[in-house]
Structure 1
Amino acid sequence: PQQSLQEALSMLGSDDWELKKKGLFNIPRLAESHPEVLLCRLREICLAATSEVTNLRSKVSCSAIVTLGELFAILKKDMDSEADEVAAVLLPMVWNSPEFIQKAACQSLGMMVENVTPARAMTVLMDRGVKSRYIQVRKCAAELLLSLMEKMGVTKLAGTPRAERLAQVAGTLAQDCHKDTRHYGQEMVKMLLDNQKFKKLLEQSLSPHDL
């Protein structure tokens, strides 16, 4: 397996795009069969894959995005340490790419949110996604953040150190210029208003007519 991993990484370093694709395809297969081999070199593997996300050949770019999503699905919380770096590369692909790449990037980000520690995913989305100046990125991040909040539940969220920031983010998204993002933000606000602590926090950060 070590040798197979080395071969896959060498393929990624190749100038031949078909070899790159093959290397990207092989990495998740190795993650399934020998996760321990990948975990020792996870940073290096993620760097190699993320650097192909911006490959000008869209087939390679898409393969890299899919590979990263698969790594989240297979390695789950072991990918916590890489979530921020990977999201930083995937989020821009949501606005600056052909539609099929945008879709793949959103899907892989969804796999990140589903599989890493919820608190980690939440921080990444709040740091990297919802503040973006690009509409598509904010929309994608808001949708994922809402699904994460629904999964965690309002009581658990109220007990986290991120509660105050979350209330601010929800309030900001609820007033976004884009209707879909605004919808996700309003859903967040509705959900948070069911909780006394969040209600107070929202009252501090929103004007009465926005509640």
Structure 2
Amino acid sequence: MEAVAEKVKKLQGNSAALLPRPPAPATRKPVVAPLTPAPPPKPSLPKKRATHGRSVRPAKTVSRDQRTDVTCSFQTAESQNQDDLQPLSNPAESLSLCFKQLSSDDWMTKVKGLRCIPALAQHHPDTLMPKLHEVCLVVIEEVKNLRPSVACAAMDTIRCLYVHLQKGMDTEANWTGQALLLKISQACGNAFLQQQASEALEALVQNCSPGRVLPVLLNTGQSHLSPAVRASTARLLHLLADRLGATKVLTARQSFTQRFLTAVSKMSLDAAAEVRPHGRAILQKLALHRDFMKLWQKNVAEKDRHSLEKVLRNVVKNIKIHI
């Protein structure tokens, strides 16, 4: 009986092993909220490599003086008001210091030297006149300076010399006027420099002797290749004609009247549109003088007279002058 019981236990054990086990309870995974997608990483730019034969230079730094010079290129002239000029305690010493400052390599020192000259011209002309030619030569060199602040200060200094010394600048009118006209050509695109040069040239026309002014304008300005220089010359001749009046122009020395009429006729036929109106405006004023036609036919070439007959006919038809 015990043997049978053992066999039964073995069979029960084997059958239990053969029965399928109940499935294990499913484990629930925790729900995880989706994360905000991170932005894609920026692609790294390839580093620039120095090519053979070229050196990689650091970025150019601009000093404070250079930044100031860009903005005050025209303020140097405006800040030099004639009312602010005061007499100097020691004019001779100031003049010597002025030459020393103008020989400096520092642009601000140069400007200080240039600002001293107008005070000498206004309050101490006796000290300045013996050295006037040397002063003008030094100032002309600064007109050519590539730094706008220095060039503007130099041109304003020449303007002050014209205003304060007037006919005392006649001997220097040729060189200073030539430098100013050439500066107009060199300063194309810089309205500040051109305006400063024009103001100085206007002071030349208004204060110096007409006999010294006319050769400067004609020899340097009228035949220049730059239309801007020729236009400035035409405007200055127009200003000179207004200053003198038709009678003085036509009754001056024969050489002056001849050169003036010839120049005005050429201006009236100039290829540049900004030049012609000045020449024709001058002719209209001169044509009203009773001696104009006789002098014009005597001094102006016939081919030029023929081209300008229509212009003059419109002016003189009301006073019954027949060409």
- Please show how residues 93-132 of structure 1 align to structure 2 within 5 Å: 93-97=183-187, 98-132=190-224
Asked if 1:51 corresponds to 2:149, the answer is: no
**What residue identity is the alignment partner of 2:243?**
K
Contact 1:72/1:116 (8 A) holds in 2: yes
Task: Name the counterpart of 1:164.
Answer: 258
How far the C-alpha of 1:152 sits from its partner, in A, is 0.6
Which residue does the alignment assign to 2:306? Answer: 208
| 1:50-89: CA deviation from partner (whole Å, max 9, x where unpaired) | 1111111111111101111111111111000000000111
- In 1, Cα distance between the equivalents of 2:237 and 2:195? 17
Contact preservation (8 Å) 2:206, 2:243: no
Distance 1:148 1:104 in 2: 19
Shift of residue 200 of structure 1? 3.0
Higher Cα Rg, which structure: 2
Percent identity over paired residues: 33
Query: Whole-Å Cα distance in 2 between the matches of residues 89 and 196 of structure 1?
Result: 38
Structure 2 distance, partners of 1:172, 1:108, is 25
Greater relative contact order, per chain length (Cα 8 Å cut-off, separation 6+)? 1
- The count of aligned residue pairs is 211
Higher helix proportion (structure 1 or 2) = 1
CA contact (8 A) 2:114 2:154 kept: yes
Structure 2: 5+ residue stretches without partners: 1-90, 310-323
Letter in 1 for 2:273: K
Q: Does 1:92 pair with 2:190? A: no
Deviations 1:7-50 (A, max 9, x none): 01110011111100000011111211211110011000000101
Structure 1 position 21 matched with structure 2 position 111: yes
| TM norm structure 2 | 0.63
**CA deviation profile, 1:70-114 (whole Å, cap 9, x unmatched):** 111111110000000001111011122122101100110111111
Q: Taking structure 1 as the reference length, what is the TM-score of the superposition?
A: 0.95
Displacement, 1:201?
A: 3.9
Q: CA deviation at 1:209?
A: 4.1
